[in-house]
Structure 1
Amino acid sequence: MSLAIPVLYGSVRTDRVGIRAARYVCDRLRDAGHTPTLVDPVEVDLPLLDRMHKEYAPGEAPDPMERLAGLYREADAFVIVSGEYNHLPPPALVNLLDHFLNAYYWRPAGIVTYSRGSFGGVRAGVHLRDMLAELGMMTTPTALAYPRVGALFDAEGAPVPTEAEGLATRFGRFETELTWVAEALRAKRAEGVPYT
């Protein structure tokens, strides 16, 4: 079953390498028959959070926010791709997430972290679980961590040949869990949700 999956990427830095992991995730989701949409804060250009989308009168939110709200309303699941800044998710990712709330309710999120170093951003992933739960999302058990991300993928997100098989195996488990939970939650949302 094809799922609509926004892939939220969190870096706006010059010469960012994490975008490679985000592209890889989008490519693998597409290969699995899903419809991923990369949400890149550089391209979206949301303002710093002043008011959440729900705090605007209908049709009065800034255009970038309205476009994302529409995308998120149709989402079956989310994938969050995060680097690690001082053991936390990057500010651009937090800002991207904080503009919305009820659009996330009763949807699963898969967490993907990365770093230039050896830890793969896992400390940011721990904080993301708490944050995403507060936003109303349920995170899947398996998270992906990509240490030394620049050595795993080329600029377009293709895995380097020596890493391709291992990356594909790990991604397969991640995608299977995300799909299973997304399909279950979609069926339950169709029956009605406890609150919105």
Structure 2
Amino acid sequence: MYKAYLQSVRMASTKAIPEPLKVLMFLGSTREGRLGIRVAKYMQKYLEDEWKYKVTLFDPLEMKFPMLEKPVHFYGPQRTGAPKWLCDCEKIVRESDAYVVISAEYNHSIPPALANLIDHFPGSAFSYKPSAIVCYSPGIYGGMRAAIQLRAMLGEVGCLSVSNIFGIPKVHESINENGEAINEHIPKGAKTLITQLDWHARAMKNHRETAGIP
């Protein structure tokens, strides 16, 4: 038994460092005085520093996404006539290994800017990869009502969310303007969520590469 244990330790110590995952973060809020940018700053730094992920942020306040009239897949398989910026964004979506969706709660529901962002791309761009939901609000519910609705939406586009939801109530008292955690709930909640996401993302990445996509 002891010899077997030593052999497993040696194998683990010689195992190659896993390739960094590519993670796309969606920020869903555009409201004046939005607090979501604090959450995005915190999560991006956490993912890059603690998990060594390659992170891209899609922020509807900073990007060109108009109210949806023609999603990228409506331009046909060759994307004939599609704007270059939209094709570039689709490439990022398709090449990502996982998604982190940061959502506020507008009228107890998904912010329209977030749904609009996601709807610019076909389900095939998201399929067979996992997602993680980070929700927040200045109140006590932490955006959970929007998060539950997001589960259905993300499942329909093919990137099922992991079971944990990282909810942040009273977000203005939890993360400061620089994206720094100011209570112990934040790093603990982020770790629980991303530990799940990492496992699912690596398992699904491995299966896509070995078995392909149906």
Global fold match (TM > 0.5): yes
Structure 1: how far apart are the matches of 2:81 and 2:208? Answer: 27
Distance in 1, Cα, partners of 2:132 & 2:92: 17
Deviation at 1:104, TM superposition (A): 0.4
Corresponding residue of 2:8: none
How many correspondences in the alignment? 191
Contact 1:82 1:93 in 2 (8 A): yes
Distance, in Å, in 1 between the alignment partners of 2:161 and 2:39 is 19
Inter-partner Cα distance in structure 2 for 1:14 and 1:64 = 25
Matches within 5 A, 1:73-112: 73-101=94-122, 102-112=124-134
Residues 1:14 and 2:32 aligned together: yes
Q: Secondary structure at the match of 2:197?
A: helix
* Amino acid of the structure 2 residue aligned with 1:122: M
**Partner letter of residue 121 of structure 1?**
G
Question: Which shifted more, 174-183 or 184-193?
Answer: 184-193
CA deviation string 1:138-174 (max 9, x = no partner): 11011100111111111121112xx0x3321221111
Task: Provide the secondary structure at the position in 2 that maps to 1:78.
Answer: strand
Unaligned runs of 5+ in 2: 1-17
Residue from 36, 41, 50 that aligns with 1:23: 41
Match of 2:11 in 1: none
Is the contact between residue 181 and residue 187 of structure 2 (CA under 8 Å) also seen in structure 1? no
What are the residue-to-residue correspondences of 1:27-176 with 2, within 5 Å?
A: 27-31=45-49, 32-57=51-76, 58-101=79-122, 102-160=124-182, 163=183, 165-176=184-195
Identity between Structure 1 and Structure 2 (%): 37
Which of the pair has the greater relative contact order for Cα pairs under 8 Å at 6+ separation?
1
Q: What secondary structure, in the 3-state scheme, does the structure 1 residue paired with 2:164 have?
A: coil
Aligned twin of 1:193: 213
CA RMSD of aligned residues (A): 1.2
Partners of 2:24 and 2:98 within 8 A in 1:
yes
After superposition, what is the alpha-carbon deviation per residue over 1:103-123, rounded to whole angstroms, capped at 9, x for unaligned? 101110000000011100000
1:82-139 CA distance string (max 9 Å, x none): 0001111100000001111211011100000000111000000000000001111111
Q: Give how far 1:193 is off.
A: 1.1
* TM-score, with length taken from structure 2: 0.86
Letter in 1 for 2:163: P
CA distance in 1, matches of 2:34, 2:172: 9
